[in-house]
Amino acid sequence: MRSLPALAGVYAAAVTPLKDDLSPDLDGLANVIHFLARRGCHGALLMGTTGEGPSFSIAERLQVYQAAAAARQDLASFRLLAGTGTPSLEDTIQLTRSAFDLGFEGVVVLPPYYYRKATDDGLFAWFSQLLESAVPSDGFLLGYHIPSVSDVSFSLDLLSRLKDAYPSQFTGIKDSSGDPKWAQSLGKRFGSDLLVLNGNDRLFSLALQSGASGCITAMANLLSPFHRLIWDNFQAGKHDEITQDKLSQAREELDRFSPMPPVVKLLLSRQHGFPLWKVKPPLLDFDLSQAEIMMSGFLTALE
């Protein structure tokens, strides 16, 4: 069995509970964190895509980080990652510093996503300033590769440059490309030298076989016992095709009703008794006339 990186494991891209006035429900967030810990997650990513991070102000994000840090005080082994990427380098530095000051194990950072034609040299300069200004020597930064949303990609060469320049602090990538060839290319290029956390449930087993060390996904809010079973079996040298097939089919069903935040919030409410939390515009709350159709397909996939 290969030795695992410090951040290896199963992470939920946690939802952000919202009150009716669209402010963060911090008590609800604490409940979500304890729920995820009980269901096998090694940790959670706050303020990622599923957490609607880019829709929140700097002050709101900091509130959420602070509440998450307080909530996990009695969860000694539960890790926290913060989504801190913004188009502004200074805002990203502030958020990143704050997350580490609060004891977060790592940050997951989108590339600056307004100037879509930024070059690798420009992205390297941006991340270099962030790493040197905000990431402590014992902190971990993962790039967030989700080109279908950000429209800005990490190239293999850029990842290599960042890893060579900052071998301890630039620890890896959250790969939400959904591209099996890209997942395989990461393993071929870097082996175990780069931490890869997969962001697409359908590719979880393939990513592990290609050298990934875990996952960060929206569906881990709902199905983390499945993710954990696949991960545990893989560490024991077993390929769990049955569980992976169920996970893949469930993800395919939910993708029919994307975007994911309102879908996950509805299922958390219907299946696990959480309040039916709001989402922030421009997202809209789930169309309840479609709820039974969505839930039926989702549950059938898990049979």
Q: What residues are labeled active site?
A: 49, 114, 144, 174
Left if phi > 0, otherwise alpha if psi is -120 to 50, otherwise beta: which for 287? beta
The whole-angstrom separation of Cα 230 and Cα 208 is 9
Task: Tell me the three state secondary structure of residue 114.
Answer: coil
Helix (H, G, I), strand (E, B) or coil at 60: helix
Task: State the residue for tokens 């402010």.
Answer: 23
| 45: number of Cβ within 10 Å | 31
Q: How far apart are CA 16 and CA 201, in angstroms?
A: 20
Which residues does 178 contact at the CB level (< 8 Å), separation at least 6? 148, 199, 200, 202, 203
Give the Cα separation of 36 and 14 in Å (integer). 9
Look-up: residue for tokens 């989504």? 83
